[in-house]
């Protein structure tokens, strides 16, 4: 069963939001286990609120010593496993990368975040060399404005492209509805339109995000020597 790990050496980039959006959207048609490997346990806190989809199970008693077992146990029981890693470069993160079928690196559109994303890419390369296999991975641009396209964002996207780093076509936009899930609980479908604006637009963005994730998982791994650099 696919294991999708969300990683970033830097906190505050929308990693947990991306993991929760992905989990709640997938849960409409499949069981999902979320491994909350962030010491702050943000997804466990979300799960304690009303409205969590029945198909979503959150595992939060995760440590450096047991994360591999937790991932293996989850993969044996659910079609999708999502690992929300801590916002640092640690051994726990390395294990989550090594166990993943796909690694997503949420990144905001700033040069500082791009540099941190490059660190995450280096972690992936190291795990590829150790495992002697390619690990699918993508940059996910987060908290973007759906209308305004800043030059800084275009410049960063160009830098990734020149370095041969694959960036998801779908960006996770800055939406009140995504934040509201952590206040009111549940997924986007459980939010009250009288309390939260533009839920439909957030839903459309979330569907596009999940569709692209599924397409990436289904696509064959591109031939690449795992000893090669990524240009970062």
Please tell me what DSSP assigns to residue 79.
Answer: S
Three-state DSSP class for residue 35: strand
Element (H, E) at 3: strand 3-6
Element (H, E) at 102: strand 102-107
Q: What CATH superfamily is the domain 3-218?
A: P-loop containing nucleotide triphosphate hydrolases (3.40.50.300)
Three-state DSSP class for residue 204: helix
pLDDT in tens, the chain (232 residues): 899 999 998 888 899 999 999 999 999 999 999 999 999 999 999 999 999 999 999 999 999 999 999 999 999 999 999 999 988 778 999 999 999 999 999 999 888 888 889 889 999 999 999 999 999 999 999 999 998 888 889 889 998 998 899 999 999 999 999 999 999 999 999 999 999 999 999 999 999 999 999 999 999 887 666 655 444 4
Is the pTM for the entire model greater than 0.85?
A: yes
Residues 49-84, buried b or exposed e (16+ Cβ, 10 A)?
eeebbebbbbbbebeeeebeebbeebbeebebbbbb
Rounded Cα–Cα distance for residues 24 and 92 (Å): 24
> Which residues are CB-contacts of 149 (< 8 A; sequence separation ≥ 6)?
none
Please tell me what DSSP assigns to residue 51.
Answer: T
CB atoms within 10 A of CB 30: 11
Question: Across-strand partners of 181?
Answer: none
Do residues 26 and 80 lie in contact, with contact meaning Cβ atoms separated by under 8 Å?
Answer: yes
């Amino acid at each position: 069963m696919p294991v999708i790990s969300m990683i970033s050496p830097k906190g505050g980039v929308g990693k947990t939001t991306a993991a929760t959006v992905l989990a709640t959207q997938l849960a409409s048609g499949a069981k999902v286990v979320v491994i909350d490997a962030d010491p702050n346990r943000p997804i466990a806190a979300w799960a304690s609120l009303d409205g969590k989809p029945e198909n979503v199970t959150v595992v939060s008693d995760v440590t450096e010593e047991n994360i591999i077992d937790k991932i293996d146990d989850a993969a044996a029981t659910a079609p999708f496993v999502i690992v929300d890693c801590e916002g640092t470069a640690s051994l726990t993160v390395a294990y989550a990368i090594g166990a993943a079928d796909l690694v997503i690196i949420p990144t905001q559109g700033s040069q500082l975040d791009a540099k941190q994303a490059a660190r995450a890419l280096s972690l992936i390369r190291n795990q590829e060399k150790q495992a002697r296999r390619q690990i699918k991975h993508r940059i996910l641009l987060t908290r973007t404005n759906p209308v305004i396209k800043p030059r800084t964002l275009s410049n960063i996207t160009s830098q990734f492209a020149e370095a041969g780093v694959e960036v998801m076509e779908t960006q996770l936009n800055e939406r009140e509805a995504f934040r509201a899930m952590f206040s009111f609980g549940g997924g986007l479908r459980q939010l009250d339109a009288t309390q939260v604006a533009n839920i439909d637009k957030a839903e459309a963005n979330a569907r596009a995000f999940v569709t692209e994730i599924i397409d990436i998982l289904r696509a064959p791994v591109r031939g690449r020597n795992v000893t090669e650099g990524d240009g970062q």
